[in-house]
């Protein structure tokens, strides 16, 4: 809840600050438009908002993980670390009471600590010592060293002077003590408001782990091999899908028989998510490389076939008529009119197909793989290496974005007439 | 025998909903080599159908077309087509569009280069020869379409409302260009248009067609195209006969339109 409120606050405050400061600066044509609500062309992404947006994510990430990238005063309250002390008041069966001290060493999970030294103390209740990691809790076996035990009717009646009954809780600075149903105090050091690194490691942890993985690799393969394997599968699967799908799409766009024959198959297979094919592909082709290539081939095939088909049907009939009237043969019309005319559609299809293939390969590697981006994050998650999981997700996102950018660039370069006729 | 001959052409087809359409009925027409025929008529009179049959994109259900004595079956390089818009190849430069026909016939660049350069000059696009199609204005694109058609040396040029998508000023300039090209090349041209003025200005012969079924209604022989080759088209429009003919044809077409409206009104 708190992170969300901070996020909203930053959003609102920066909106007012930036628009107020920036307002007078821009004097282009769009700034003179009075109707901007509803005019999509007047909506331009505010670059400063973009920068603040990314910075805010890191800010909140840093605040709630106690990161070094955020100045210390801004950190959310950290979990307690050090030596916590509290007293309990034990009562014997005959009604006599005595206080004893409990000293608990609270340490970060990564650095083990020794149990605190504590003098035995006086009275029938003796002092106790314990050790516990942050975000964990510890039962204090208070009566083990005392001169009386629970079996003889002794019980704890107060913690730090506050009366308590089984099931009750007493809070204090270091954390809280809950009395179990059997009367044993359970000490839980204060959690603060930060996330446990197991769930969300700090940005610098992810960064150092990334550097380390880039240097040393992960599970017998370098990071480049993991990412390269995923990319290789995507590219091979996509190329196979395109090599089969594009001619199929052309045939469907040019012949009644092909259209009739393949329409039911293509229309049925298109809405089947490639992920739903994983079990069948594993049964047929096993979990090896072949299975993944087949899966990606199927993911790309229908998309490319449909793109090529609509590329053919999208040709202005005047172009085809004109070409016939200029004396072109069927093959020449295919080569000089239909294929170039369908390229924009095919590029759109290729972009979609590459995106789908990239998503599918990661999912396929989650299921079973020796190497690959998906395998990396799945294995890391099994070993609770959340930092590797986050790193992997970021890398997968970066590569997916990169693929899309490259396809767009190729499109601008190869089909400059797209959307301009 | 040279020229285009259309004999008793008819065209009818079944509708998927049942019933049949008689798109053309008994259309006969002889066009000598080098004649310019403009075709007018209300929508639905079958003028585009007629053009598509002559081009070979549609097969007639009756009648025969011969060009220079040979029967016409299917599209061929002897009948060039100029469309209203969208028929240029956006993936080729202006020059490659114009040389498309010769290239498809297997000519080498050396063989067609002079011709293409000459055509670029005639249509006034020599400075735009390496531009992409989408960089040209609508008028320039139609100039490319004309030049592309001429580069292929067709016997007949079929124009389907070639100037219909242009603004009024560009349209006037292009009308002069069409006349100039007609005179220079001596091609047989069939031009379909919606504009009565354009039909009068460009048509050496003018055909008014009537709808339902599509048929020839009236034919004119006009002097204005020959006048327009020499003079400014605006001067031609001031010719006393021009206004008279325009009113005559306009009221003819109006009557047809009203007949259609009345007929469809009855059937409701």
Q: What is the DSSP string of B37-88?
A: EEEE--TTSSHHHHHHHHHTSS--SEEEEEETTEE--S--TTEEEE-SSS-S
**pLDDT tens-digit series, residues B219-251:** 888 888 777 777 777 777 788 888 888 888 888
With CB atoms and an 8 Å threshold, state whether A332 touches B104. yes
Instruction: Note whether A334 contacts B: Cβ–Cβ < 8 A.
Output: no
Separation between Cα atoms, residue B245 and residue B247, nearest integer Å: 5
Is the CB of B55 less than 8 angstroms away from the CB of A341? no
Nearest CA in chain A to B154: A326
pLDDT in the model for residue B219: 86
Q: For position B268, what pLDDT does the model report?
A: 38
For A198-215, the pLDDT digits (tens) are: 899 999 999 999 999 999
Q: What is the pTM of this model?
A: 0.83
Among candidates A198, A168, A161, which has minimal Cα distance to A183? A168
CB contact (8 A) between residue A319 and residue B148: no
Do residue A336 and residue B79 have CB atoms under 8 angstroms apart?
no
pLDDT tier at A273 (50, 70, 90 boundaries)?
very high
| Phi, psi for A33 (deg, rounded to 5) | -70, 135
Average pLDDT over residues A96-112: 87
Contact of B100 with chain A, judged by CB distance below 8 Å, is answered with yes
Q: DSSP letters of B74-137?
A: S--TTEEEE-SSS-S-TTSBHHHHHTHHHHHTT--HHHHHHHHHHHHHHTT-GGGTTSBGGGS-
Summary mean pLDDT of chain A: 89
Q: What is the pLDDT of residues A341-392, one digit of tens each?
A: 999 999 999 999 999 999 999 999 988 888 899 999 999 999 999 999 999 9
Q: What is the pLDDT of residue A114?
A: 82
Tell me the shortest Cα–Cα distance from A400 to chain B, in angstroms.
29
Based on DSSP, count helices (H) and strands (E) in chain B, helices before strands: 10, 10
Q: What is the pLDDT of residue A24?
A: 63
Q: Burial code of A176-214, b = ≥16 C-beta within 10 A, e = fewer?
A: bbbbeeebbbebbbbbbebbebeebbbbebbeebbeebe
Q: Which of A90-99, A397-406, B222-231 has the lowest mean pLDDT?
A: B222-231
At B26 the three-state DSSP class reads strand
A25 has pLDDT over 70: no
Distance from CA of B31 to the nearest CA of A (A): 19
Nearest CA in chain B to A321: B57
The per-residue pLDDT of chain B, averaged, comes to 86
Quick check: A327 and B77 CB within 8 A? yes
The closest of B78, B64, B74 to B158, measured between CA atoms, is B78
User: In a 3-state reduction of DSSP, which class is residue B206?
Assistant: strand
Return the residue of A nearest to B132 by Cα: A417
The Cα A204–Cα A391 span in angstroms is: 11
Tell which residue, A282, A289, A351, A341, has the closest CA to residue A315: A341
- Average pLDDT on A77-88 reads 89
Let me know if A142 is exposed, middle or buried by CB neighbors in 10 A (0-12, 13-18, 19+). buried
B65-95 pLDDT tens trace: 988 888 888 898 889 999 988 889 999 999 9
Given A324, A417, A421, which is nearest B86 (Cβ)? A421
Mark yes or no for CB contact A325/B77 under 8 Å: yes
How far is Cα A122 from Cα A99, in angstroms, rounded to an integer?
A: 9
Contacts A314 to B, Cβ<8 Å:
none
B148 CA: distance to closest CA in chain A (Å): 8
Task: Report yes or no: A361 and A378 within 8 Å, Cβ to Cβ.
Answer: no
Nearest to B89 among A319, A416, A420 (CB): A319
Other Cβ atoms closer than 10 A to A16: 9
Which chain B residues touch A323 with a CB distance below 8 Å? 100, 104
User: Residue B86, Cβ neighbours under 10 Å: how many?
Assistant: 15
- B187 touching A, CB under 8 A? no
Strands B188-192 and B156-160: parallel
Residues 6+ positions from B142 with CB-CB distance below 8 Å: B82, B85, B162, B163, B166, B174
Q: How far is B159 from chain A (nearest CA, A)?
A: 11
Is any Cβ of chain B less than 8 angstroms from the Cβ of A337?
Answer: yes
pLDDT in the model for residue A345: 92
Task: Label residue B164 by pLDDT band (50, 70, 90).
Answer: confident
User: Nearest Cβ partner of B83 from A318, A328, A341?
Assistant: A318
Instruction: Report whether pLDDT(A13) > 50.
Output: yes
Can you tell me whether residue A85 is helix, strand or coil? Answer: strand
Tell me the mean pLDDT in the region B140-150. Answer: 90
Are residues B77 and A322, on separate chains, in Cβ contact within 8 Å? no
> pLDDT tier at B267 (50, 70, 90 boundaries)?
very low
Whole-angstrom distance, CA of residue A369 vs CA of residue A375: 6
User: HSE on the CB side for B120, CA within 13 Å?
Assistant: 20
Closest-CA residue in chain B for A327? B77
Q: Is A340 on the interface with B (CB under 8 A)?
A: yes
Q: Check whether B263 has a pLDDT greater than 70.
A: no
Residue closest to A306 by CA, chosen among A359, A357, A360, A265: A265
* C-beta pairs of B89-92 under 8 Å, 24+ apart in sequence: B89/A319, B89/A336, B89/A337, B89/A340, B89/A341, B89/B133, B90/A417, B90/A420, B90/A421, B90/B132, B90/B133, B90/B134, B91/A340, B91/A341, B91/A343, B91/A415, B91/A417, B92/B133
Tell me the ipTM for this assembly.
0.90
**Span B6-33, mean pLDDT?**
87
pLDDT in tens, A153-164: 888 888 988 888
């Amino acid at each position: 809840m708190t992170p969300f409120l901070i996020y909203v606050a930053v959003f609102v405050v920066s909106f007012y600050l930036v628009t107020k400061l920036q307002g007078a600066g821009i004097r282009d044509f769009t700034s003179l438009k009075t109707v901007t609500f509803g005019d999509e062309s007047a909506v331009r992404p505010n670059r400063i908002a973009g920068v603040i947006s990314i910075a805010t994510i890191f800010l909140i990430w840093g605040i709630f993980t106690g990161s070094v990238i955020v100045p210390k005063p801004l950190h959310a309250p950290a979990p307690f670390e050090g030596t916590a002390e509290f007293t309990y008041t034990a009562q014997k069966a005959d009604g006599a009471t005595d206080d004893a001290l409990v000293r608990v060493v609270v340490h970060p999970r990564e650095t083990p600590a020794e149990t605190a030294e504590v003098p035995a103390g006086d009275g029938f209740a003796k002092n106790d010592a314990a050790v516990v990691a942050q975000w964990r809790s510890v039962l204090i076996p208070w009566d083990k060293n005392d001169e009386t035990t629970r079996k003889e009717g002794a019980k704890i009646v107060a913690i730090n002077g506050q009366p308590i009954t089984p099931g009750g809780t007493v809070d204090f600075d270091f954390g809280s003590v809950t009395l179990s149903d059997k009367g044993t105090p359970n000490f839980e050091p204060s959690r603060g408001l930060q996330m446990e690194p197991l769930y969300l490691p700090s940005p610098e942890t992810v960064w150092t782990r990334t550097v380390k993985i880039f240097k040393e690799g992960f599970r017998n393969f370098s990071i480049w091999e993991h990412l390269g394997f995923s990319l290789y599968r995507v590219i091979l699967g996509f190329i196979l899908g395109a090599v089969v799908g594009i001619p199929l799409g052309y045939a469907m766009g040019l012949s009644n028989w092909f259209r009739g024959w393949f329409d039911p198959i293509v229309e049925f297979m298109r809405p089947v998510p490639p992920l739903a094919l994983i079990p069948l592909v594993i049964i047929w082709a096993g979990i090896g490389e072949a299975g993944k290539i087949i899966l990606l081939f199927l993911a790309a095939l229908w998309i490319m076939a449909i793109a090529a088909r609509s590329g053919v049907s999208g040709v202005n009939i005047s172009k085809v008529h004109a070409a016939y009237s200029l004396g072109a043969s069927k093959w020449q019309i295919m080569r000089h009119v239909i294929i170039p005319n369908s390229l924009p559609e095919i590029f759109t299809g290729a972009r979609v197909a590459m995106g789908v293939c990239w998503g599918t390969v990661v999912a396929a590697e989650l299921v079973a793989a020796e190497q690959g981006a998906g395998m990396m994050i799945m294995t890391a998650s099994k070993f609770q290496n959340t930092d590797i999981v986050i790193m992997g997700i970021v890398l997968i996102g970066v590569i997916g974005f990169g693929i899309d950018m490259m396809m767009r660039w190729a499109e601008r370069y190869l089909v400059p007439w797209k959307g301009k006729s | 025998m040279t020229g285009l001959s259309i004999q008793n052409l008819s065209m009818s087809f079944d509708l998927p909903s049942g019933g049949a359409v008689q798109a053309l009925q008994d259309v006969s027409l002889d066009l000598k080599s080098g004649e310019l025929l403009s075709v007018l008529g209300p929508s639905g009179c079958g003028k585009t159908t007629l053009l598509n049959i002559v081009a070979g994109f549609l097969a007639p259900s009756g009648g025969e077309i011969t060009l220079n004595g040979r029967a016409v079956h299917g599209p061929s390089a002897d009948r060039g087509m100029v469309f209203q818009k969208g028929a240029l190849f956006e993936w080729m430069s202006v020059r490659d569009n114009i040389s498309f026909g010769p290239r498809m016939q297997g000519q080498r660049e050396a063989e067609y280069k002079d011709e293409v350069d000459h055509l670029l000059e005639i249509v006034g696009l020599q400075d735009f020869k390496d531009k992409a199609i989408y960089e040209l204005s609508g008028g320039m694109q139609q100039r490319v379409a004309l030049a592309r058609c001429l580069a292929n040396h067709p016997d007949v040029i079929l124009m389907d409302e070639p100037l219909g998508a242009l603004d009024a000023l560009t349209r006037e300039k292009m009308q002069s260009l069409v006349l100039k090209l007609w005179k220079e090349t001596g091609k047989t041209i069939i031009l379909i248009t919606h504009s009565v003025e354009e039909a009068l200005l460009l048509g050496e012969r003018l055909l008014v067609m009537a709808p339902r079924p599509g048929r020839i209604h009236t034919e004119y022989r006009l002097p204005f195209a020959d006048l327009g080759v020499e003079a400014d088209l605006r001067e031609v429009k001031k010719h006393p006969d021009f206004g008279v003919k325009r009113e005559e044809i306009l009221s003819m077409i109006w009557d047809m339109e009203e007949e259609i409206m009345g007929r469809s009104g009855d059937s409701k």
